[in-house]
Structure 1
Amino acid sequence: MTTTERTTGTTLRDIPGDAGPPIIGYTLQFAGGKLTADRTRYDKYGPVSWSRAFGRTWISAQGPEAAGAVLSNRDHAFDSGPGWSFLIGPFFRRGLMLLDGPEHHRHRRIMQEAFTAQRLAGYLEPLNETLAAGIAAWPRTGSLAFYPAIKQVTLDVATRTFMGAQADHEADRLNRAFVDCVQAATAPIRLPIPGLRWHKGLVGRRLLENYLRPQLAEKRAGDGNDLFSALCHARSDEGEAFSDDDVVNHMIFLLMAAHDTSTITLTSMAYYLARNPEWQERCREESFALGTEHVAYDDLDRLVALDLVMKESMRLVVPVPGVIRRANKDTELLGYRVPANTMVTAQLWTVHHLEEFWPDPERFDPGRFSEERREDKVHRNAFMPFGHGVHKCIGMYFGGMEVKAAMHQLLQRYRISVPAGYEMPVDWTSLPRPRDGLPITLHRL
């Protein structure tokens, strides 16, 4: 990559890096998630480096300055849509994350009507009921593969809260469709060959569309309190509304984002609470102190210890470990030249694991986020589990509400444990998940 002169006359530096193995570059490592939770390139090249994968040049932005600059996008040089579309476009097309500029602003403004405080409070009752039914089906005592169990519960929550429907015989097919769509994002062979990841993702997308589209007329005619109805009826201040295609596209993306990220957060929280019984007991005492099996909306802020554990778990296992952008013009990043049309990844895992911002970064220590310490404030971009800038997660408050409500119920029913010395093996392909399903032991209280 050659040095160039900007129109201002400022010389920009070459980006350090390497292409990797001939022809394939780092495609297999990228597809297998081996570049996600890894700071090798940061240690070797610094916060900005380049590599080759999928036949393209990729620039990696690691650390709070580099990743924050990409996501804040002050020069409007980094587009989200063309970046994410390369990975997930066929499966989550025109979801909010895949829009930019005025169109993104318009869609986000309309969609915000579905995530007001009043709407969130309305979602909590059916959410609590669905959580209770799901958790009640678990064994009273004994072993449980936590990840698949909680993933089914969060999908049931999303189905009821977002669509006003009870989980039915379609639940397993929907869950599989979402998994296939997400995992197709990093498929090394990006062709519709039956049996391979890319083809499975396309089939999953069709199933989701065929499930949602027939329900549009009823949702538009009704007055339901679910998110599907809210999107059908949402209007901007100027009276703008979503088309049928808009509603379907946003529902598919939100259903995926809501239940996948909540599943990941709940799984990592269960793991760390099982390994750290003192924090588990502290959170349990808070929940019992509320005196209610189902948390109320106004009580969420009283679960202080649970909030600390949630944040620390999201720091250690960030639900979306990398964010994709594409440069729409020649620009710069920390003084390095970035050519137009280059793919850029903001590596959020690295941001959360640098010892210069997080002392002893691999240690589970929820106290980092306490008012006395606030390590997350040592740098404005030190903690970004929901992203940053105009594309910051629109459902972050819904997600936090769901996670706290679920853990509040779980901790009042069970004490959870894992064997001494157990370490959860994380598969970072697409989104993080435990390779072994996270086997925990339940002890009924």
Structure 2
Amino acid sequence: MLFEGLELVSALATLAACLVSVTLLLAVSQQLWQLRWAATRDKSCKLPIPKGSMGFPLIGETGHWLLQVFSKIFSHEALESYLPKIQLVIQDTLRAWSSHPEAINVYQEAQKLTFRMAIRVLLGFSIPEEDLGHLFEVYQQFVENVFSLPVDLPFSGYRRGIQARQILQKGLEKAIREKLQCTQGKDYSDALDLLIESSKEHGKEMTMQELKDGTLELIFAAYATTASASTSLIMQLLKHPTVLEKLREELRAHGILHSGGCPCEGTLRLDTLSGLRYLDCVIKEVMRLFTPISGGYRTVLQTFELDGFQIPKGWSVMYSIRDTHDTAPVFKDVNVFDPDRFSQARSEDKDGRFHYLPFGGGVRTCLGKHLAKLFLKVLAVELASTSRFELATRTFPRITLVPVLHPVDGLSVKFFGLDSNQNKILPETEAMLSATV
């Protein structure tokens, strides 16, 4: 009898704990994005925060002109102009990785790379490297505290996030003002240029606060998920050397690599990348098996029925990208990394709709998906043509899914410089130690 009473108390305690957890979860879900926008927004900012936008001033169900702006930002012409800049940023980064005497933390360095790409390429900011490094550290503090409980107390994560956001916006305002004053010598229109020009065309002169919010939004959109996918790409190329070699063979066949191994200059264009079928398969498979985010949510616009259950209008529904990829009947051996499943001979993703949706689906699909795929393709090409790299640990790390998919230890990898025949260039001391006496 006493034992049954203890069981009842234990069950009630568990139920109470669950109710508290759910209450906290609902509170966080309701106020989560206040940290990013609503809590410190300038009262003079007139951009609407539409229903379904999660507090983002540039995303939602209204503002048709903004959709037109983003269509320009990620158009074929815009991507063509971004491509050489993206390639330069990646090349500089890989040279830095190769010159580092020790192994690097790939996930951390990939975050720096995508942040630099957003600042240099998307926004066209000419920020000195030292200032850029400081801005990245502040941005990391901001991102780390985005998912804090919305409790504004001294030393709380929420307060640290607010403070980081204020410092970020101060730095971004300085960069924006310098950019607006210096318009000479630009050879392409970046995303911020297009945003400003298009807003003027639609009679919507943007305030400085709106420009800062839009800039921060573009950085955020290009940051975490792309760093996650970049890390997964490097990990899979390490795990599957035959895939890397097959990729190199395709590059040689298309004149991107000389037969001896060194890269050909001036060969990377959008049409060239589009013709690299196996490269496309590799990127697709990385995004299938290692989708950076688990899913998303939508608001039901019209009552419908799914598997015998009626879903009422106005409800919020969640969909899982990972579960969809894992359970879709079109994919064979779902846990196996197999880029050839997307080849023309097999085309597993062509059998039916919404089996493959790493960027979401429907009218609310990711607007920047073409830029993300372009970045990953250029990274893969540069890795295959100019880099040699080895895992610096005995085993590959476990993967965690929060806040985005990434290795728990960041993935420790040693990169090497290459000579013209793609042979490793060892540091001088290491070369002397390994020399035959």
Q: 1:319 aligns with which of 281, 292, 311?
A: 292
Which one-letter code corresponds to 2:248 in the other structure?
Answer: R
Matched residue, 1:247: 211
**Inter-partner Cα distance in structure 2 for 1:135 and 1:109:** 35
Q: Do residues 348 (structure 1) and 321 (structure 2) align? A: yes
Paired AA for residue 347 in structure 1: S
Alpha-carbon distance, 1:432 to partner: 1.7
Q: Pick one of 91, 95, 102 that aligns with 1:132.
A: 91
Aligned to 1:175: 136
Give the Cα separation in 2 of the matches to 1:350 and 1:365: 18
1:78 counterpart residue number? none
C-alpha change, 1:198 and 1:432, in structure 2 (3 Å) is farther
- Look up the match of 1:226: 190
How far apart are 1:173 and its partner, in Å?
Answer: 3.7
* Contact 2:341-2:347 within 8 A present in 1 as well: yes
Q: Provide the secondary structure at the position in 2 that maps to 1:345.
A: strand
386, 398, 402: which one pairs with 1:429? 402
Structure-1 separation of matches of 2:134 and 2:16: 37
Q: Please tell me whether residue 102 in structure 1 is matched to residue 62 in structure 2.
A: yes
1:279 is the counterpart of 2:224: no
User: What residue number does 1:390 align with?
Assistant: 363
Query: Shift of residue 340 of structure 1?
Result: 6.9
Q: Could you report, residue by residue, the CA deviation over 1:117-163 in whole angstroms, capped at 9, with x for unpaired residues?
A: 22211112222222211111113586332111222222212111022
Distance verdict in 2 for CA 1:322–1:204, change over 3 Å: farther
* Change beyond 3 A, Cα 1:25–1:242: farther
- Cα distance, 1:341 vs structure 2: 6.6
Aligned partners of 2:297 and 2:159: how far apart in 1?
22
Deviations 1:46-104 (A, max 9, x none): xxxxxx463549xxxxxxxxxxxxxxxxxxxxxxxxx987543431565977433232x
User: Residues 420 and 192 from structure 1, CA distance in 2 versus in 1: closer, same or farther, beyond 3 angstroms?
Assistant: closer
Which protein is richer in strand relative to its size? 1
**C-alpha RMSD over aligned residues:** 3.4
TM-score by length of 1: 0.74
Provide the rounded CA distance (Å) in 2 between the counterparts of 1:124 and 1:273.
Answer: 22
**CA 1:362–1:270 in 2, change beyond 3 Å: closer, same or farther?**
same
C-alpha separation in 1, matches of 2:20 and 2:233: 31
2:36 aligned with 1:91, yes or no?
Answer: yes
**What TM-score do the two structures reach when normalised by structure 2?**
0.75
- Residues 377/243 of structure 1: CA separation in 2 closer, same or farther (3 Å cut): farther
Q: Please name the residue that 2:72 is paired with.
A: 113
Report if the CA contact (8 A) 2:69-2:194 is conserved: no
Q: Which amino acid aligns with 1:356?
A: P
3-state SS, counterpart of residue 103 of structure 2: strand
Match of 1:54 in 2: 24
Q: Is the counterpart of residue 267 in structure 1 residue 212 in structure 2?
A: no
Structure with the larger RCO, 1 or 2 (CA within 8 Å, 6+ apart) = 1
**Residues 1:365 and 1:150: Cα distance change in structure 2 (over 3 Å):** same
- Please state whether the residue corresponding to 2:335 is helix, strand or coil: coil
CA shift for structure 1 position 415: 2.8
In structure 1, C-alpha distance between the alignment counterparts of 2:136 and 2:17, rounded to whole Å: 32
Tell me the SS of whatever aligns to 2:389: strand
Tell me how far 1:327 sits from its aligned partner. 5.4
Counting aligned pairs with the same residue, the percent is 23
One-letter amino acid of the counterpart of residue 115, structure 1: F
Tell me what 2:116 maps to: 156
In the alignment, residue 259 of structure 1 is paired with which amino acid? Y
Shift of 1:112: 2.1
Q: Does 1:22 align with 2:41?
A: no
Count, aligned residues: 377
Distance in 2 between the 1:89 and 1:328 partners?
A: 25
Q: AA paired with 1:170? A: D
5+ residue gaps, structure 1, are 1-19, 29-51, 58-82
The CA deviation at 1:428 is: 1.6
Q: Matched residues in 2 for 1:27 and 1:293: separation?
A: 61
Does structure 2 retain, via aligned residues, the 8 Å contact 1:329–1:340? yes
In structure 2, relative to structure 1, the CA distance for the partners of 1:111 and 1:240 (3 Å cut) is farther
For the residue of structure 2 that corresponds to 1:25, the secondary structure is: helix
Do residues 290 (structure 1) and 251 (structure 2) align?
no
Q: Distance in 1 between matches of 2:208 and 2:305?
A: 39
For residues 256 and 411 of structure 1, the distance between their equivalents in structure 2, rounded to whole angstroms, comes to: 28
Cα distance in structure 2, aligned partners of 1:162 and 1:416: 28
| CA shift in 2, pair 1:327/1:148, >3 Å | same
Pair member with larger Rg: 2
Contact kept? 1:386, 1:392, Cα under 8 Å? yes
| CA deviation vs aligned residue, 1:166-223 (integer Å, no higher than 9, x gap) | 5522333433444444444543x33134444433332332222222223444444554
Give a deviation string over 1:317-350, Cα, whole Å, max 9, x none.
1122221345578776555345677543221111
**Which amino acid letter does the alignment assign opposite residue 389 of structure 1?**
G
* In structure 1, distance between residues paired with 2:31 and 2:180: 32
Distance between the aligned counterparts of 1:221 and 1:21, measured in 2?
A: 61
